């Protein structure tokens, strides 16, 4: 058995904790403001980035690290809420193209200030810009799927 060194365990533990603390904080702020969950924000942003060309669900799920059925259902809910528009694509009879509606853009814009304010407060109270940059460097290195 491969025994991890203490730094590894400490890093992982603190990663999980930091993630949960900030996430709870952000989710709480969004809910209090009567806005959708953070997972919706990520999806809205990614779809918005795709612009008028739209994006295919299978592509979206890779970017959001969601399982296929999770993506399918998230789009269901967002479509029902009128935030996205799904239409069949003719090159591929199996697939569809997702685009943001105006309401989707509005909701994303409404979420951003709340999200940003909480994030700023949570991070910048504790870390300097340099520290945040260093953290980013290390985390990106950590998460490289292909080593």
Write out the residues near DNA by the rule CB under 7 A. Answer: 31, 37, 39, 56-59, 67-70, 72-77, 86, 91-96
Q: What are phi and psi of 96, to 5 degrees?
A: -145, 165
Q: Is 22 in the site for a copy of itself (CB under 8 A)?
A: yes
Task: Check residue 106 for interaction with a copy of itself (CB under 8 A).
Answer: no
- Please count the other Cβ atoms lying within 10 Å of the Cβ belonging to residue 135: 13
Place of tokens 């953290």: 135
Cβ at position 72, least distance to a copy of itself in Å: 18
Q: What is the DSSP string of 18-49?
A: HHHHHHHHHHHHHHHTT---HHHHHHHHHHHH
Task: Indicate whether 143 belongs to the interface with a copy of itself (CB under 8 A).
Answer: yes
Q: Which does 77 bind (CB under 5 to 8 A by kind): a copy of itself, DNA, none?
A: DNA
CB distance 99 to 50 below 8 Å: yes
Closer residue to DNA, CB minimum distance, 4 or 95: 95
What residues from 110 to 139 belong to the interface with a copy of itself (CB under 8 A)?
A: 113, 116-117, 119-127, 129-136, 138-139
Radius of gyration from C-alpha coordinates of the chain: 18
Closer residue to DNA (CB): 39 or 102: 39
Nearest CA to 96 among 49, 56, 51?
56
Comparing C-alpha atoms, which of 131, 129, 133, 68 is closest to residue 95?
68
Interface ranges with a copy of itself (CB under 8 A): 1-5, 7-12, 14-24, 65, 113, 116-117, 119-127, 129-136, 138-145, 147
């Amino acid at each position: 058995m491969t025994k991890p060194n203490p730094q590894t365990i400490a890093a992982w533990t603190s990663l999980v904790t930091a993630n949960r603390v900030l996430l709870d904080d952000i989710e709480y702020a969004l809910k209090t403001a009567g806005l959708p969950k953070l997972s919706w924000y990520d999806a809205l942003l990614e779809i918005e980035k795709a612009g008028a060309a739209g994006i295919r669900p299978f592509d979206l799920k890779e970017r959001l690290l969601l399982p296929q059925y999770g993506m399918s259902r998230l789009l269901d809910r967002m479509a029902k809420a009128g935030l996205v528009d799904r239409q069949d694509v003719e090159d591929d009879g199996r697939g569809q193209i997702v685009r943001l509606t105006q309401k989707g853009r509005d909701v994303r814009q409404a979420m951003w200030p709340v999200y940003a304010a909480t994030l700023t407060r949570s991070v910048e109270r504790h870390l300097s810009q340099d520290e945040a940059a260093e953290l980013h460097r290390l985390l990106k290195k950590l998460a490289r799927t292909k080593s």
